[in-house]
Amino acid sequence: MDLTAVRAALADTARKARVPGMSLAVVSRDGALHTVGTGFADLDGHAPATADTVYPWFSMTKPVTATAALRLSDRGLLDLHAPVHEYLPWLRAPGPAQPTVWQLLSHSAGLGNPLPVTWIHPADTPAPDQEQMLRKLMARRRAFRHPVGGTGHYSNVGYLLAAQIISQASGEPFPTYIQREILAPLGMASTGFAYLPGRSAATGYVRLPRPLTPALAAILPPGTLGARHGGYSSLNPFLVDGAGYGGLVGSVLDAAAFARLHLNDGLAVPPETARPEGAACAAAGTPASGAEPQGHRILQESTARAMRDIHVKGRQFDHSAGWFRKHSKEYSREPSGSYVEHFGTGLGFWNIMRLYPEQGRAIVLMSNSSTSYDYTSLFSVLLRLPWT
C-alpha cells in the first residue's frame, strides 16, 4: 500500500498546529501496520522525530495503572469494590459514603484535581516519596470536592491513590510491579519511569511570547525551563512526581504494544504468533480463527472488556477504568462504543492513544509541544486506508 497519504497527513497536522515533531503508530490485533515520525524531536540538534523517540506519557500512564490494578483483581489480590481505607487506613472521606478502588479508577470517588503544573522534578533527581506526597495532598481542605460515587470528575489524585494501593496489594513498589507484570511481558523495552540510557528522547517545547518566559520560569521548578528556539521555550528533561497518574516515559512503539494488549482483550500476543486476519474479517476486526493464539494473558477477557465499558458520566469526559471518551460532535456521529481513548497532555507534550475495538485498530500519536492539534481529521484518514 502507498503510505504517502499517511506521511502527508501527519506532516500537515504538525504544520498546522506548529508542533516541532510527532510520532505515530497504527496497529491491528496482529501487530504494527505503520509507524512513522515527522519533524524534529529536538530543534537544537535537528534530531528527527521517529517511532523510536521517547516522550513523557503523562496521563496515558493511567490505562497502564488501571490494567495493573485489574490484574491484581483477576489474581484475587485486590478487591476493586472494597473501600479504599481497607488498603490505606489513613484515608477516609467525610460522611458515611467511602470511595472504592473501582471508583478511584473510574474518576467517581469524589476527589478534586489540583492543578499539577509543579508536580515535576528534574530527570536526574529522585522523585518525592509517594505516600508523603499523597498525605500532603489529602490533608488539604476539601480534598473530596464531589459526592462519592456520583458524576465522574477527572482526578490525578485518584490515580496516585490507586498506585499506592497497587503497591500495598502487590507487596512491592508500584514501578517494580508495573515493570514486571505489564511492561516486560509486552516487550516494552523503551518504556519506564525514567529516561532509559541509549534512547533518543524528545525535547518538550512551549510556544510562548518571549516577554512571558520569566513568568513561566518562576512557576516551574528551578532548572526546568531551557533555551529559546524561535517562538518556543524548550524544557530540560524532567519526570512527573506521581508515577501512577502520569510517570511513564516511552516510545509510540511501546504505547502501541500496550494498545494491542487491549485490542486482544488482555492477551499479550507476540507479533510473530498473532492470530491470522483474513480480508473478510479485517473490516469487522474479529479473528479469522476461533482458536486463541499463543500468548501471555495479562487480563481475563471479561476484565479487559469491562475496562472499555464507558458508564460513568461526566461533564467533559465519560469514564471507565483507565479509558474515557470525550464529549464531542465527532463521537455523536460514531456508532455507540466505537472507540475509547486516553490523552497524555502536560508541559511541553501532547499525546493520545485511541482504540477502535470493533475495527481491530488502535492509533497512538505523540508530540513534543503543549499545543493540541486536529487529531480527528488525521485519524479519519488513517481509518479510511485499506490496511492489509
pLDDT at 142: 86
pLDDT digits (tens, 9 = 90+) for 206-245: 999 999 999 999 999 999 999 999 899 999 999 999 999 9
pLDDT digits (tens, 9 = 90+) for 344-357: 999 999 999 999 99
pTM (predicted TM-score): 0.92
pLDDT at 2: 74
Burial class for 336, CB neighbours closer than 10 Å (0-12, 13-18, 19+): exposed
Count of CA atoms in the C-beta half-sphere (13 A) of 238: 27
Q: Identify the CA nearest to 345 among candidates 56, 119, 123.
A: 56
Mean pLDDT of all residues in 368-386: 93
Cα separations in angstroms, 360 against 158, 286, 363: 30, 7, 11
- H/E stretch holding 330: helix 329-332
Percent of the chain predicted with pLDDT > 90? 83
Q: Which 8-state DSSP code applies to residue 22?
A: E
Query: How many Å apart are CA 190 and CA 354, to the nearest integer?
Result: 20
| Superfamily of 4-384 according to CATH | DD-peptidase/beta-lactamase superfamily (3.40.710.10)
- H/E stretch holding 26: strand 21-28
Place of cell 498546529: 17
CA 180 to chain centre: 18
pLDDT digits (tens, 9 = 90+) for 147-182: 999 999 999 999 999 999 999 999 999 999 999 999
Cα separations in angstroms, 180 against 98, 135, 164, 177, 218: 31, 27, 17, 5, 38
Look at 12-26, 69-83, 116-130, 322-336 and tell me which has the smallest mean pLDDT.
322-336
99's grid cell: 470511595
pLDDT at 182: 97
Percent of the chain predicted with pLDDT > 70? 91
Task: List the alpha helices (DSSP H) in 197-273.
Answer: 213-219, 243-246, 252-263
86 close to 133: Cβ distance less than 8 angstroms: no
pLDDT at 287: 41
Q: How confident is the model at residue 27 (pLDDT cuts 50, 70, 90)?
A: very high
**Predicted confidence (pLDDT) at residue 276 exceeds the cutoff of 50:** no
Mean pLDDT of all residues in 141-148: 91
pLDDT digits (tens, 9 = 90+) for 298-344: 999 999 999 999 999 998 899 999 999 988 766 655 554 589 999 99
3-class state of residue 238 by DSSP: strand
**Predicted confidence (pLDDT) at residue 292 exceeds the cutoff of 90:** no
Q: Where are the domains of the chain?
A: 4-384
Query: How many Å apart are CA 380 and CA 386, to the nearest integer?
Result: 12
**Predicted confidence (pLDDT) at residue 197 exceeds the cutoff of 50:** yes
pLDDT at 327: 80
Crossing angle of the two packed helices 62-74 and 156-170, in degrees rounded to 10: 40
